[in-house]
Chain A
Amino acid sequence: MHFPIALLLLQASKQLVSLSPVDIVIIALYFLMVLGIGFYLKNYTKTGEDFFMAGRDMSSWIAGLSFVAANLGALELMGWAGSAYQYGILAAHWYWIGAIPAMLFLAIVMMPFYYISKTHSVPGYLKLRFGESSRLLAAISFGFMTVLMSGVNMFSMAKVMQIVLGWDLNFSIWVSSLTVAGYVFFGGLLSAIFNEVLQFFLIWLGALVITILGLYEAGGWSGVVHRIHERWPNGDYTHMWAGLGSFTGNPMGINWVGIVMGLGFVISFGYWTTDFLVVQRVLAAKDLRSAKMAPIIGAAFKMAVPLIVILPGLLGLAVLPDKLVAESAQAANPGLHTYNDVLPLMLARYCGPGLLGLGITALIAGFMSGMAGNVSAFATVWTYDIYRAVIKKDADDSHYVTMGKWCTVLGVLVSIGTAYLVMQSNSIMDYVQSLFSFFIAPLFGTVILGMLWKRATPAGGFWGLLIGTLSSVAMWLWVQQVPSALSIIALSSNAKPMAENMFRALWSWIICVAVTVGVSMVTQPKPEEELVNLVYGATDIPSEGDLAWFQKPAFWAILVAIVLVVLNIIFW
């Protein structure tokens, strides 16, 4: 324990906050606890089902909290707090319409097929529904992108720790990633899920202090609105929909079509229903009702996350004495703070010794939950969907568990390598983030047609996925080479880069669906008996049992949906 403390105390002079000894003890305790949990759980992860699927015995609460925590990374916290400072409450769209409908759709419509097909992964479902080629395409893309994204996040987190605390980049990268590798190596998905639930608590308890004190200082929500209007008279930072009638009516340069169809439909549904990083948590549920309840519980908490992410950004607009700037403006004037610094600045504003350690622990916990999610999903997809499918088909269970364990280490090492690559050239980060987005929207098209349309054929599924993905790459390259092409893709000359992602996703999804339908109509479908438990109309959905109305997932899904509508009306 001496070497990290010694290193932590070696802080650079130019940093946002300084840690006291009690803060360092709090952070050290956190590292001890997550490693201890991983070590403890190694005795409970003997089989492949234990290591890769957490024994499929998680309660709906554990699966649901893990589901939402795997997405609640530190960069997510800091990045969206920064976006809220930059764009105002518009950023909350990524938490509400950009997440909740998709999570509820996953719970009620898609989860039965994922769950009763007994697949261990999303590529695994594609194998059952469309065949080996679709599975391999999805698995290789997912595995590759997951470790690259993990590396990008790792570098970004290390950079944040350097700016906020003055920590050495190498120290942050190696200590945090080896800790994640340690606990996932020992306990697999079970350990990742346990730690994600713990991290979920820490993130909330660490960040909620800012919201409470910020609201107190500003005089409640009405005080926040009043102060923002007073300090920023030319911008609309407090309305979610009022400025979305046109591309020029809001600081994001996007209209309601982009938000509703691009974000709320394609990107959100693509991520929350087909990204194996999050879906894997729900597949670990102990029964179908738990599997359906888990995303609904996750959705309820996701809907509350703006309290600890978006609101601190808005509070920054209301109470911080200095105005924050974009990264580009900071390059010209290094003395200024950027939008992304808003959360650490608010942390430093209100949190003294002890609470500061808890806040920093929340950021570290966020990073580690995201990374563990990436690594455990990568290990599963590599072992089951690539290694077992192509390289070694007939080994025993213990062989695959060993492979999964070493895959965890390999995934972390590749991530570290990517982090150092990004350190050499920041532009790699933009490329990797774009690469990830290419795949999600078409994958959603393929999976949803596979689940809801019996006529979709294996050839249709494969070609739709491939051409949808390639079309997304082509559109991205087009805008890179000819920036004016953005106005064609987003259907407006006033569109800004944020709109490009939304509309590119929407087009690639439409192309995927069109190709899948077209090819399916001229190729041979699978016989109906092979579609049992995979497709709507060929599957008897098992009963949830004799439940009272308030125990039914549909009741809670409707309740969450009503709250979502009410929140959007309140902040219209």
Chain B
Amino acid sequence: MHEHGRLPIWFFIGVLLTAYGVLILGAGLYGLSHPANVVLDELHIGIWWGILLLLVGLFYVLRFYPRKQ
């Protein structure tokens, strides 16, 4: 998992997706009271996409978190 002692790329991906998930979910929740001028805004895709990114990101972070052998 941690070849030659370096962190795997999957861990970095997890960190970034987690951060993006939080931001996009937050923006989506804010959009409930401040609707954006986009088509299909009523679906609140930002909330769903934010949750998806958060789940994928957390999975990668936890799965590839650097642990001492």
Contact A213 B40 (CB under 8 A): yes
Contact B45 A209 (CB under 8 A): yes
The interface bits of chain B over 1-40 (1 if a CB of A lies within 8 angstroms of the residue's CB, else 0) are: 0011011010011011101100110111011000010111
Name the CB-closest residue of A to B4: A44
Q: Nearest Cβ in chain A — how far from B36, in angstroms?
A: 3
Name the CB-closest residue of B to A37: B12
Binds B, one of A248-256, A350-358, A377-385, A545-553: A350-358
Contact B49 A209 (CB under 8 A): yes
Contact A216 B4 (CB under 8 A): no
**What is the interface size of chain A, counting residues whose CB is below 8 A from a CB of the partner?**
36
Contact B13 A217 (CB under 8 A): no
The interface bits of chain A over 475-492 (1 if a CB of B lies within 8 angstroms of the residue's CB, else 0) are: 000000000000000000
Residues of A within 8 A of B15 (CB): 33
Q: Nearest Cβ in chain A — how far from B25, in angstroms?
A: 8
- A40 CB-CB contact with B under 8 Å: yes
Residues of A within 8 A of B27 (CB): 20, 22, 352-355
- A157 CB-CB contact with B under 8 Å: no
Residues of B within 8 A of A358 (CB): 20, 24, 49
Given contacts A26-B20, A33-B12, A198-B12, A350 and B6 within 8 Å (CB-CB): no
> Could you tell me the distance between the alpha carbons of A480 and B13 in the complex, rounded to whole angstroms?
47
Name the CB-closest residue of A to B35: A352
Given contacts A25-B23, A353-B27, A201 and B13 within 8 Å (CB-CB): yes
Residues of B within 8 A of A213 (CB): 39-40, 43, 45
Contact B20 A352 (CB under 8 A): no
Name the CB-closest residue of B to A55: B4
Say whether chain B's binding surface is mostly helix, strand, loop, or mixed.
helix
Name the CB-closest residue of B to A43: B6
- A197 CB-CB contact with B under 8 Å: yes
- A167 CB-CB contact with B under 8 Å: no
The interface bits of chain A over 333-362 (1 if a CB of B lies within 8 angstroms of the residue's CB, else 0) are: 000000000000000111111110110000
Residues of B within 8 A of A212 (CB): 45
Contact B23 A62 (CB under 8 A): no
Residues of B within 8 A of A209 (CB): 45, 49
Residues of A within 8 A of B58 (CB): none
- B53 CB-CB contact with A under 8 Å: yes
A216 touches which of B12, B26, B43, B53 (Cβ 8 Å): B43
Name the CB-closest residue of B to A216: B40
Interface residues of A in 186-238 (CB under 8 A from B): 194, 197-198, 201-202, 205, 209, 212-213, 216-217
Contact A349 B39 (CB under 8 A): yes
Contact A355 B4 (CB under 8 A): no
Name the CB-closest residue of A to B60: A201
B23 touches which of A22, A40, A197 (Cβ 8 Å): A22
Name the CB-closest residue of B to A319: B39
> Could you tell me the distance between the alpha carbons of A352 and B40 in the complex, rounded to whole angstroms?
10
Contact A44 B40 (CB under 8 A): no
Contact A350 B45 (CB under 8 A): yes
Given contacts A29-B20, A198-B13, A349-B38, A355 and B3 within 8 Å (CB-CB): no
Residues of A within 8 A of B45 (CB): 209, 212-213, 350, 355
- A30 CB-CB contact with B under 8 Å: yes
Residues of A within 8 A of B28 (CB): 352, 354
A217 touches which of B4, B31, B40, B50 (Cβ 8 Å): B40
Q: Nearest Cβ in chain A — how far from B13, in angstroms?
A: 5
Contact A351 B38 (CB under 8 A): yes
- A76 CB-CB contact with B under 8 Å: no
Residues of A within 8 A of B13 (CB): 197-198, 201
Partner-A contacts on B (CB < 8 A): 3-4, 6-7, 9, 12-13, 15-17, 19-20, 23-24, 26-28, 30-31, 36, 38-41, 43, 45-46, 49-50, 53
Given A209-B45, A353-B27, output 6 extra A-B contacts at Cβ < 8 Å.
Answer: A26-B24, A37-B9, A213-B43, A354-B46, A354-B50, A358-B20
- Report 21 cross-chain contacts, Cβ distance below 8 Å, ordered by A residue: A20-B27, A22-B27, A26-B23, A29-B16, A197-B9, A197-B13, A201-B13, A351-B38, A352-B28, A352-B36, A352-B46, A353-B27, A353-B30, A353-B31, A354-B23, A354-B27, A354-B28, A354-B46, A355-B45, A355-B49, A358-B20
